[in-house]
Amino acid sequence: MVTLGYFDMEEFIIYSIVGLLCFGIVYIYLRKLKKESDVVGEKIEKAKEEGIHEPVSLYPYIDEDNCIKSGACITACPEKDIIGIRNGRATLVNASRCIGHGACFHACPVEAISLKIGTEKRGVDLPHVNQNFETNVQGIFIAGELGGMGLIKNSVEQGKQAADYIFASLDKGHTLSYDLIIIGAGPAGISASLQAKKNGMKALVLEQDTLGGTVYNFPRAKIVMTSPMDLPCHGKVKLFQTSKDELLTLWNEVISKNDIQIIEHSKVELIGKTNGGFELTTLDGRKFTTNKVLLAIGRRGTPRKLGVTGEGMEKVAYKLLEPELIENKNILVVGGGDSAIESALLLADDNKVTLSYRSDKFSRLKPKNAENIEKAMLSGKVLVLFESNVKEITQSKVHLYTKGNNEMGLDNDLVYIFAGGELPTQFLEKSGVQISKRFNYTMLSHKK
């Protein structure tokens, strides 16, 4: 029979207490992990019900075999509940709300995240570009939203990088009017023009609308940028919660200071080849020659139209610029995305607003927009017609098909259509740029 001495018994008790404490800590920790995992699981199920679980544009793809559950990706993401930890691994929650910041990609300590576009079932039309932003047509480059990178910060960085690659490939002995013509004065185009200036290139920017591109078409007070960016010839832009007006003011100052040549309201209709480069023809017949071309026109440069009678009337618009100047009007807003919701809410204070949406419920909205439109519907501030489509637009009315294919007429002064944008496929194909539908396509990866 073995007996424990006094000190042996004391050590035994101490070790037992320590062991129980460790077990208790581990048990509490595991319960906490399970609870957090269950919460994420509930969020995923809710996201599936609301139709916001599947990605619609650029999104993070997580390699579960390499993920170490550091949580760095969740902390780095400026949006809310895009990624969560479930069963010990990072996973997508509200994927359709991802707007491509790429912060998670850079924050992951084990490089377990790639940025992809398109899923296995839903493809996305993308032009062919190589790692230097050059298309299958030698001398024509693409940067920004058209190539899949839509966020302002990412577009600015791509424009800068593309300009450097173009400079390196420039035919120094060419005799054409310009070294580079940039089509589009949005974030990528502005950044590229500044970097081209920095590199000593003779460059010209042609913009079909107005400086700012897609950003210019946002409502005046809309927050358009939430993270810093490095702007060529200017340096780090440290503005947070930046409005459209603040960003356009900054761009105007930098462009003026650096004497960047931009011709607005000059839509390029054709890119043809000429000796040593390209000849660009605008809608009004002007011609420009250049050694290289950078397309920075975005995916939404051409608004998607409804194709209904009366859509060409002056009272129909595809952008809302100064909602504060519109009062006492009967307004129809068409669409169910964030742009449509934000516009309807901006107009609702001083006007009678009806929103027509073809689906039976909203999906893929930013949380704040979903909350605000719900309040507006309950208070009667905005009349929402789900499962409705515009049939015809007349001088004083709009006619719609509603649920059950019934017809409805509304008094109307203005119509705003936010049905998304169309890839300028015809323009690209005329220029020889190949386009294909990409499924689960990797845009950025740490793998070399």
Tens-place pLDDT, residues 327-370: 999 999 999 988 899 999 999 999 999 999 999 988 778 778 88
* Element holding 354 (H helix, E strand): strand 352-357
The whole-angstrom separation of Cα 287 and Cα 107 is 46
290 half-sphere exposure, CB direction, 13 A CA radius: 26
Residue 178: count other Cβ atoms within 10 Å of its Cβ: 22
- The confidence score (pLDDT) of residue 233 equals 72
Strand pairing partners for 437?
125
Least-confidence region, from 18-27, 56-65, 313-322: 18-27
- More confident site: 90 or 30: 90
Given this model, what pLDDT does residue 138 score? 94
Residue 393: per-residue pLDDT: 96
CATH of 33-116, one of 3.40.470.10, 2.40.50.100, 3.30.70.20, 3.40.50.2000: 3.30.70.20
Class of domain 124-302+424-437: alpha beta
Phi, psi torsion values for 377, nearest 5 degrees: -70, -45
- Whether residue 25 is predicted with pLDDT greater than 60 in this model: the reply is yes
Contact 347, 333 (CB under 8 A): yes
Mean pLDDT of 109-114: 87
Where in the chain are the domains? Answer: 33-116, 124-302+424-437, 305-419
Q: Which helix (H) or strand (E) holds 401?
A: strand 397-402
How confident is the model over 57-109, as pLDDT tens digits? Answer: 778 888 888 888 888 888 888 777 788 888 877 888 877 777 666 778 888 88
Structure token pair of residue 34: 């399970």
Whether domain 305-419 has CATH 3.40.640.10: the reply is no
Query: Are 33-116 and 305-419 equal in CATH topology?
Result: no
CA atoms of 177 and 85, how far apart (whole Å): 55
DSSP for residue 309: B
The reported pLDDT for the residue numbered 364 is: 72
Residue pair 124/148 in contact (Cβ under 8 Å)? The answer is yes
CB 267 within 8 A of CB 185: no
Mean pLDDT of 403-410: 89
Contact 305, 311 (CB under 8 A): yes
Q: Positive or negative, the Cα torsion across 384, 387, 393, 395?
A: negative
Buried b (16+ CB within 10 A) or exposed e, 266-295: bebeebeeeeebbbbebeeeeebbbbbbbb
